[in-house]
Amino acid sequence: MKIALLGYGRMGQAIEKIAVERGHEIVIKKDVEPLSEDLGIADVAIDFSHPTAAFDNIKSCISKGVPVVSGTTGWLDQYDEIVSYCKTKDGSFIYASNFSIGVNLFFNLNEYLAKLMNQVGEYDVSMQETHHKHKLDAPSGTAITLANDVIANSDKNKWSISDPQNKELFIDVKREGEVPGTHKIAYTSTVDSIEIKHTAFNRTGFALGAVVAAEWLKDKKGIFKMKDVLNL
C-alpha cells in the first residue's frame, strides 16, 4: 500500500516506522507546509499534521479521491464541513481523536460506566488528562471524546477546563515533560470513589492504530469511526 504521510513530527515518524515494518511504502512525506505533490500516487493518506493544516490536507485528499485517515486534533470546529464535502465527493474518511486500540476499548468502558453511574446518582464525575509539554491543544481530543460520552450519559451539560459551574464536567488539564498521554475519569461520593484510567507508555499504540485504520479504509467509501475499524 502506498501511503501519503501528512505530518512528519514524532507521530508521523512513528507511523512511518510501523507502516514500513508492515510492508507499506511512504510515497509522500510532508510536515506543515502546503501540499504540492500529486496525492493521486497514494492509495491512502494519514494526516497527523497541525490544527491549522489538517482541514486543507483532508479536503485535498478527498478532492483527489484519496482515502484519508486523520488523527490531528484542534480543528473540529470544521469537522461538519469536511463530512459534508466528503459526502458530496463520495470520498473516504476516518477521524479519530485517538487511534490506539487500547484507548478505543477505554472509550467503550467509559461510556458503559457513565450509564451505570447515572442510574445511581450519588456520585460526582470529573476528569484529568496529562500530556507532554509540546501538545498544542487543551483539552486533548481524547479527553473531549471521553467528556462528550460522559455528558451524553449523565446530568452534565458541558465540559470546562477551569472554574466549572453547576452541571459542568471539570477536565483538569496538565502538561508535563514528555508524557505520551494519560486520561482518568473519577466518580466521587461522600463515602468512596471509583476511577478508570488509561496510560500510554509511548506513541507506538497510536501509530499502529492509524496504520491499521488506513489498511481497513483502502478501497472503501464513506465516513467512518475507529469503532467501525475495530468492530466495536
181-213 pLDDT tens trace: 999 999 999 999 999 999 999 889 989 999 999
Domain span including residue 31: 2-99+204-230
Q: Are 169 and 159 in contact (CB under 8 A)?
A: yes
pLDDT at 162 over 70: yes
Report the amino acid identity of residue 129.
Answer: E
The answer on 95 and 162 residing in a single domain is: no
Task: Examine the domain organization and report whether 112 and 147 are in the same domain.
Answer: yes
Q: How confident is the model at residue 24 (pLDDT cuts 50, 70, 90)?
A: very high
Q: Does residue 58 sit in the same domain as residue 75?
A: yes
Same structural domain for residues 68 and 120? no
Q: Which pLDDT belongs to residue 39?
A: 87
When pLDDT is cut at 50, 70 and 90, the band that residue 137 belongs to is confident
Instruction: Answer yes or no: do 192 and 208 share one domain.
Output: no
In b/e form, how buried is each residue of 206-220, taking b as 16+ CB within 10 angstroms? bbbbbbbbbbbbbee
Residues 109 and 188 in one domain: yes
Q: What is the DSSP string of the chain?
A: -EEEEE--SHHHHHHHHHHHHTT-EEEEEE-SSPP-S-GGG-SEEEE---HHHHHHHHHHHHHTT--EEE---S-GGGHHHHHHHHHHTT-EEEE-S---HHHHHHHHHHHHHHHHHHHH---EEEEEEEE-TT--SSS-HHHHHHHHHHHHTSS--EEESSS--TTEEEEEEEE-TT--EEEEEEEE-SS-EEEEEEEESSSHHHHHHHHHHHHHHTT--EEE-HHHHHT-
Q: What is the mean pLDDT of residues 160-188?
A: 93
Does residue 106 sit in the same domain as residue 196?
yes
- 95 with 106, same domain: the answer is no
Please tell me the total count of domains within the chain. 2
How confident is the model over 48-85, as pLDDT tens digits? 998 889 999 999 999 999 999 999 988 989 999 999 99
CATH of the domain at 128: 3.30.360.10
Joined together, the cell numbers standing for residue 134 give 509540546
Q: Tell me the whole-structure pTM to 2 decimals.
A: 0.80
12 and 68 assigned to the same domain: yes
Q: Which residues are catalytic?
A: 131, 135
Same domain, 121 and 8: no
Query: Do 214 and 186 fall within a single domain?
Result: no
Question: Is 62 in the same domain as 149?
Answer: no
- Residue 134 has a CB neighbour count (10 Å cut-off) of 10
Average pLDDT of the chain? 93
pLDDT digits (tens, 9 = 90+) for 101-136: 999 999 999 999 999 999 998 999 999 999 998 887
pLDDT tens track for 11-23: 899 999 999 999 9
